[in-house]
A and B are shown apart, each in its own frame.
Chain A
Amino acid sequence: MMRRVKEELFFSKGKRKYLFCADSEGVEALYPLVRQAMEDKAPFDFHEIKHESDSFLDLWFSQQKMGTYLYLSGKWDFVHRLKNLAIEAGFTEYEVQIKVIGPIRKKVICCQCHGVNDVDEEMHITCMHCGISLEVSNHYSRRLEAYLGYSSIQSS
């Protein structure tokens, strides 16, 4: 799930099949999990994604059967794109684990003006559109692909 991107991946036992998907920088983080899948004799696919098109990936995700479990590892933009394709193809948030290599760039919606702010990992920001102070929350909208930033009355 997106709010857990900085946590370590863990092996989710007993799934029907595993998909491991990484960019060149994310491959290494998946090796321990692949080893566990092999030890469990569980079916799996391993793909290092290079220039595959959205339509190819969509087809690949769509052909997976119910109960397939997906691991994504790589830079923020990469895992974000792959996660959206997987969700569109029918995966739920509970069937995907994500590891982000490098900086997180999440979007935060200003509660006052609805403006979008790009944020790394800071918890307090100033809205670049209306200037209000915002506290970044865990409240996430899949429609907006963004977290909600709350204003406070304490400081003003």
Chain B
Amino acid sequence: MVINDDLRSFPFPFGDSQVYKYSNNATPLRPPNAIELTDKYIDEIRLKRELLTNHPERCYQSSSQTLDAQWEIVDLILHNLVGYYPDQFKLEKKDEQWIFTNLQTKENIAFTFGDRTTLEVEPLDFIGRHVQEDLLLMMQRDGDLFLDAGQLCFPANWSLFFNVGMTFKEIHSPIPGFQSESLDDRILQFLMRIEAGTPWGRKNWSLMAGNKLDTSLETFAEWGQARKQVTKENAGKLVHLRVEVQKLFRLPQSNGILFTIHSHMLPLERFIQHTPWLEQFYAILHELPAFISDYKGISLYRQQVLEYLVEEMKKR
């Protein structure tokens, strides 16, 4: 079997489990890097910038009190970039005068750290244009977390425009079963206890009919149509496993939380090349409760995918 780069860099989302259930599956993040670069970097950065230009209201939202926290995010991410990818990014600092060099995009950006007027866009919007991750900022007050700013180009069928300003529980209220056994409250309490210097990570998976990263709620009427086209014959190419690598960082000055989401997509036929993964994925999809399948938007073509997986298992 040939394992190509797309498979090697793909984050395996299932652990040892044979069933899917909601849980707080976050683990301490090692290495504590907010950002990962893949070989799709340039393509995805280009796509992000196009979306931000064409759909600013959909892709960027912020409340005015978030600027300090936004600068903390710039600080954290720039230092991650130059620390983990020193041959691709450079940062020169003289007091508050910073010069950031992105060698892949061939850009040099000089600005005064902390001075919004020295950047063309807000700090969070600026730094988000140099990473593949979506970046969300939650602020903590009154014993709750509020989504107060975000740059979101690759949402899995939700709307930043609608959700900005909401509490953690309000945002997740449409998820069926998320309130049972107070799971929403337990995760909120966990998030509010995250400490600076101890970031956390988790993975979340779904299936997508089609290969678009920008599956916004706003364009669902277009990209959602592909769900009706899935057959047992085309499922391997048309259906993609989508994995979100999510990371959580406490921002020590503002006490906000940075939430980064890196979305990876792989056609099913690539993912199931490895037979143990095929068998595990079949088991999980087969046992997936209907309400979760509905929420993930899989129900319309789950049967076709299962039939495809059965055929593949027979061939092994």
**A interface residues, Cβ below 8 angstroms from B:** 109, 111-114, 132, 137-144, 148, 150-151, 153, 156
Contacts and interface: CB of A to CB of B under 8 A. Distances in A.
Given A114-B57, A153-B228, A141 B163 contact: yes
A112 B162 contact: no
A139 B162 contact: yes
Nearest to A112: B218
Given A111-B218, A114-B57, A139-B173, A153 B162 contact: no
Nearest to B63: A143
A141 B217 CA distance: 16
A143 B225 CA distance: 31
B165 A111 contact: no
Contacts of B159: 111, 148
Contact of A153 (B165, B170, B220): B220
B161 A114 contact: yes
B291 to A, nearest CB: 16
Contacts of A109: 162
Interface in B159-178: 159, 161-166, 170, 173-174
A130 to B, nearest CB: 10
Contacts, number: 48
A140 to B, nearest CB: 8
Q: What 9 A-B pairs are tightest by C-beta distance, nearest first?
A: A143-B165, A153-B224, A151-B221, A111-B217, A139-B174, A148-B162, A112-B218, A151-B220, A153-B225
A111 B220 contact: yes
A41 to B, nearest CB: 32
B221 A143 contact: no
Contacts of A144: 162
B165 A142 contact: yes
A114 B221 CA distance: 14
Interface in B130-184: 159, 161-166, 170, 173-174
22 contacts: A111-B162, A111-B217, A112-B218, A112-B220, A112-B221, A114-B57, A132-B221, A137-B174, A138-B174, A139-B162, A139-B173, A139-B174, A140-B170, A141-B165, A141-B170, A142-B165, A143-B165, A144-B162, A150-B220, A151-B220, A153-B220, A153-B224
Contacts of A141: 162-163, 165-166, 170
B218 A143 contact: no
B227 interface: yes
B53 to A, nearest CB: 18
Nearest to B219: A112
A153 B220 CA distance: 8
Interface in B195-244: 217-221, 224-225, 227-228
Nearest to A139: B174
For the complex, would chain A's binding face be called helix, strand, loop or mixed by DSSP majority?
loop
A142 B217 CA distance: 19
A153 B228 CA distance: 9
Nearest to B173: A139
A109 B165 CA distance: 15
A146 to B, nearest CB: 8
Contacts of B219: 112
B136 to A, nearest CB: 16
Contacts of A143: 164-166
Contacts of A111: 159, 162, 217-218, 220
Nearest to B297: A153
Nearest to B58: A114
B227 A153 contact: yes
Contacts of A139: 162, 173-174
Given A141-B163, A141-B170, A142-B165, 4 more contacts: A111-B159, A139-B173, A150-B217, A151-B221
A132 B217 CA distance: 13
Contacts of B163: 141
Contacts of B227: 153
A132 B228 CA distance: 19
A140 B173 CA distance: 9
A144 B165 CA distance: 9
B138 to A, nearest CB: 15
Interface string B54-72: 0001000000000000000
Contacts of B174: 137-139
Contacts of B225: 153, 156
